[in-house]
Amino acid sequence: MRRVPDLGKTIDPVKFVHFFPMLGPELNNRLHLFYWSVGSNDGLLECLHDAKKVFDEKGVKTTWIERLGYGHEWSFWRLDLQDFSARLFKPNK
């Protein structure tokens, strides 16, 4: 089912936090948009789920998009670019 790449591994949350010590709710004030997008058939899906969990636990607000049936492929990025662009250039409230 998975379409490339398939790393077969995930992140080590302890090392991840060690290398990114600035993770915390205060980061929300410096970001306009923290956008995650992945296809449900992407080989990186588990890794990204684990990384997002670290950001959630640290209080960093993110926008998570998971598109059913897509892998790590051009058709996904063409579709996703529209959504990302609309969110990126949306004025802050």
Instruction: Convert the pLDDT of each residue in 46-85 to its tens digit.
Output: 888 988 999 999 999 999 999 999 988 888 989 999 999 9
3-class secondary structure, 90: coil
CA distance 23 to 20: 6
Domain map (residue ranges) of the chain? 14-88
What is the model's pTM? 0.78
**Mean of pLDDT values over 32-37:** 93
Record the tokens describing residue 49, joined without a space. Answer: 């789920």
CA distance 92 to 37: 21
pLDDT attached to residue 82: 92
